[in-house]
Chains A and B, each alone.
Chain A
Amino acid sequence: MKFKIIPERTNLPFLKSRFIAFGISAVLMILSAVMFFGPGLNKGIDFEGGIMLEVAFPESPDLGEMRSSLGGLGLGQVNLQTFGAPDDILIRVQRQEGGSEAQTAAVEKVKVQLESQYGKEISYRRIEFVGPTVSGELVQTAFEAVLVAVLAILIYIWLRFEWHYSIGAIAALVHDVILTIGMFAITGIEFNIASVAAILTIVGYSINDTVVVYDRIRENFRRYKKMEVKDLLDLSINETLSRTVITSVTTLLALVSLFVFGGEVIRGFAAAMIFGVVVGTYSSIFVAAPILLQVGLDHHNEEEDGFKPSDDDAFETKA
């Protein structure tokens, strides 16, 4: 007998607890919004502009000492943090007034100071600087990318299913994106270009999960013409539950491995993805499907709106 995380036949009353789930989601979304507009995101230099150096020292340096010596250079705010190992330090310097020469001059100042204090043994693992024009553009294109992606997916779902489904899918999507941004705000994980990639992938994953449940709902509407919509939704979620959980587990296995072993640079990205997969799985069960009931999906509607072909039709016409 093989191992089953989900029993063969489940009959969990998901729809019964839908208002509790909506409540939880609403609270979490509000909390995310409060965190986003309150403390805000820990924006990386991609979005804030500025200078970042990752420096490997021969032995772990005294951060307090380094903070005061670099702070005395007159470069404004200087942030230090260890990056993985204790001898690997990430130095962030705020954007300097003036053009690019001011930025490169600041980098040079930091390097000279570090070398005079810690010798020439130090190695620069990364040096990055993003000017204000570019960081502004990055924010804009990132925002546009998320918007366009969501719109394109909405249109696809609308064409493939019907409008009720696209509302549910978008609700679940927006839910996942807001919660993920909230997670960034709460944990203080650096929000950079890779984080936007993470969010867009979460969009893809979340919709993937949702579409699988929707496909089953559509199929069951055709199969059980007389069934109560509420029971039908519950049945569909239960029937796809095993798949939803197994796929989430395999994806999480891969992501946890990335989080633990993938190195410091990718850790924030992996963390966001892990969170997104968990939230995406939750939303496809507790938000995307139950919302269909709220927006009035019914047997009647399907006939009126014209039923889009489902898998059986597709295969029968092919055969």
Chain B
Amino acid sequence: MISFPKWKSALVILVCLLGVVYTIPNFVDQKSMEGLPDWAPKDQITLGLDLQGGSHLLMQVETESVKEKMSESLIDSVRSNLRSGNDRIGYRNLKATNGVVSLTLRNIADREIAREKLASISSITPTGQRSHLIETFDDGRITITPSEQTVADRISSVVDQTIEILNNRVNEIGLTEPTIQRQGKDRILIQIPGLGDPQRVIDLIGKTAQMTFHLVNNSVDPFKGNAPAGTKILPPHTEGERPVAVRNRVMVSGENLEDAQATFQQGQPVVSIRFNSLGGKQFARVTQENVGRPFAIVLDGKVVSAPRINEPILTGSAVISGGFSVQEAQDLALLLRAGALPAPLTVLEQRSVGPDLGADSIAAGEIAGIIGLVAVVIFMIVTYGLFGLVANVALTMNIFMIMSLLSVLGATLTLPGIAGIILTIGMAVDANVLIFERIREETRNGKTPFNAIESGYKRAFTTIVDANVTTGIAAVILFVMGTGPIKGFAVTLGIGIVCSMFTAILLSRMLISMWALKTRPKTLNV
């Protein structure tokens, strides 16, 4: 039986047609595409950053700093809880070690009251657990330990918040189609297509941009090493300026900013800021009380400027001058508008490819693919004649199907992905080689052409499945465990295996059946 059922032929032809149709958009430019009717396929293969040029940044949220902040705020709430009401409780040694806050009561008799006062710190989480473990000891020591879940939740929300702020910043810069995604517990992957030099972006997105306003402590010499309690010496923001001794207490925080714009004042680029109502009130009070004294504007632990307060500023607007360049003023305004990061970021990995290298890579890949394809096509015809031609039709269709699947699935084509496709070109004919070799053997054993073809396809089938499943296992593992380029390679390899099994088994069989039924050959020239 050599016949190939009609419904099967119809299905094979339909799948092949779909493969061609869904590949076409990749050869049509964007403009002509807009003229196409709605139902026409428009999905194009997404090119990876290595092919279109762009930057890939893997950032890590510094979880240590998140934990530190958690401890600080925990200490704050412990302090205010114990001091609340009329029955203030005496304690000493309030400190945090490794996230655990501890203190010792001055009077052990206060233990029960202290417990009651502190109870509000520990809430019941939706999962039914306590957010903090509060323990009291016989010697008057009390420890407050946040649960692992509480810490994890906090880190997770800091990462979410960071992603949101990064999105704001990236949008403000006006970059096209960046993707910002969480990766793992505390990492953020940023991919920005079409950007050759990522340095400015790193500068902008990596900055914490925490702005605070402090009073300057004039009694301290900033060049002398140690500052008294309540005061710290901060380095200048611009190199060459003097360090400044500022009081620890934050008078107004950058969180209370409503807007920031780069403007000019006496020909110098400056940043104009406007506070929200709370910030405006705080700012007005501070400036009223401290006329004539210098006031430090601190960005990420460095003093941008420390101007003298000449008169109370009641309008809620102010100007930061600090010898900025136009670019610096614009960047600072942008950062302040977009908001401060809740925790600092570290760049773990950075990969940028210039757009011309990407274009070169695509061109080289195309040339290599075409030459490889031509070489394989010629070799197959020389080796198997007419049957080789059939294998070549299957191979060509295989490439169309890979491209259409990549387009439809929205998979990203990377340089290793191109390598995967080219490798597939070589390996895709394997199934047909297996089949043709079987047909040769069966012919030699004296079978009639029809029988030889039939049993050639039958007998080769399990071998093909076994061989492809094992390669498929490698592809799946590459996809699951791999990152970036490896994943890209695994995608094309995996899709290639599936497509080549379809084309080499079904399509080639259909073509050969059609040919055999039409010509009814007496002998097979395989």
Contacts and interface: CB of A to CB of B under 8 A. Distances in A.
Interface of A: 2-5, 8-9, 54, 56, 99-100, 103-104, 107-108, 123-131, 133-134, 138, 141, 144-145, 148-149, 152-153, 156-157, 160, 193-194, 196-197, 200-201, 203-205, 207-209, 211-212, 215-216, 239-240, 242-243, 246-247, 249-258, 260-263, 265-266, 269-270, 273, 310-312, 314-315
B199 interface: yes
Nearest to A254: B426
Interface centre among A211, A254, A265, A314 (most CB of B within 10 A): A254
A298 to B, nearest CB: 22
B89 interface: no
B416 A212 contact: no
Which 4 A/B pairs are nearest by Cβ-Cβ distance? Answer: A254-B426, A263-B364, A251-B426, A204-B474
Interface stretch (B19-27, B132-140, B348-356): B348-356
Contacts of A133: 60, 348
B236 interface: no
Given A254-B375, A261-B368, A208 B347 contact: no
B167 to A, nearest CB: 21
A9 B350 CA distance: 56
Contact of A250 (B379, B461, B481): B379
Contact of B473 (A56, A99, A128, A156): A156
A197 B371 contact: no
Contact of A2 (B371, B384, B475): B384
Contacts of B385: 2
Nearest to B353: A126
Nearest to A257: B372
B484 A193 contact: yes
Contacts of A124: 196-197, 352, 354
Contacts of B440: 8, 242
A243 B440 CA distance: 11
B463 interface: yes
B466 A149 contact: no
Contacts of A311: 458-463
Interface of B: 50, 58, 60, 196-199, 202, 206, 346-354, 356-357, 360-361, 364-365, 367-369, 371-373, 375-376, 379-380, 382-385, 415-416, 418-419, 422-423, 425-427, 429-430, 433-434, 437, 440-441, 444, 458-463, 466-471, 473-475, 477-478, 481-486, 489-490, 493, 525
B357 A54 contact: yes
The B interface, classified by DSSP as helix, strand, loop or mixed, is helix
20 contacts: A104-B199, A123-B196, A124-B197, A130-B348, A134-B349, A149-B474, A156-B470, A194-B486, A196-B486, A208-B468, A247-B427, A250-B376, A251-B426, A254-B372, A254-B426, A256-B372, A257-B371, A269-B416, A270-B419, A311-B459
Contact of B423 (A145, A254, A310, A314): A254
Interface centre among A126, A128, A216 (most CB of B within 10 A): A126
Contacts of A131: 346-349
B416 A194 contact: yes
The A interface, classified by DSSP as helix, strand, loop or mixed, is helix
Contact of A157 (B347, B433, B463, B470): B470
Contact of B486 (A9, A193, A258, A310): A193
Contacts of A263: 360-361, 364-365, 368
B141 to A, nearest CB: 37
B137 to A, nearest CB: 38
A200 B478 contact: yes
Contacts, number: 252
A310 B383 contact: no
A203 B365 CA distance: 24
Contact of B478 (A134, A145, A250, A260): A145
Contacts of B430: 208, 243, 247, 250-251
A126 B474 contact: no
A205 B468 CA distance: 9
Given A125-B354, A251-B430, A266-B418, 17 more contacts: A3-B383, A104-B202, A123-B196, A123-B354, A125-B356, A125-B357, A126-B351, A126-B353, A138-B483, A156-B469, A200-B478, A208-B427, A211-B466, A254-B373, A257-B369, A265-B415, A311-B462
A252 B369 CA distance: 13
Contact of B471 (A145, A204, A314): A204
A234 B282 CA distance: 91
A239 B438 CA distance: 9
Contacts of A253: 372, 375-376, 379, 426
Contacts of B58: 134
Given A204-B474, A211-B466, A257-B368, A141 B483 contact: yes
Contacts of B427: 205, 208, 247, 250-251, 254
Nearest to B464: A212
Nearest to A53: B352
A197 B489 contact: yes
Contacts of B356: 56, 123, 125
Nearest to B361: A263
A125 B485 contact: no
Nearest to A133: B348
A262 B365 contact: yes
B477 A269 contact: no
B352 A211 contact: no
Contacts of A269: 416, 419
A127 B198 contact: yes
Interface centre among A134, A160, A208, A209 (most CB of B within 10 A): A208
A144 B475 CA distance: 14
A205 B379 contact: no
A204 B470 contact: yes
Nearest to A316: B458
Contacts of A5: 383
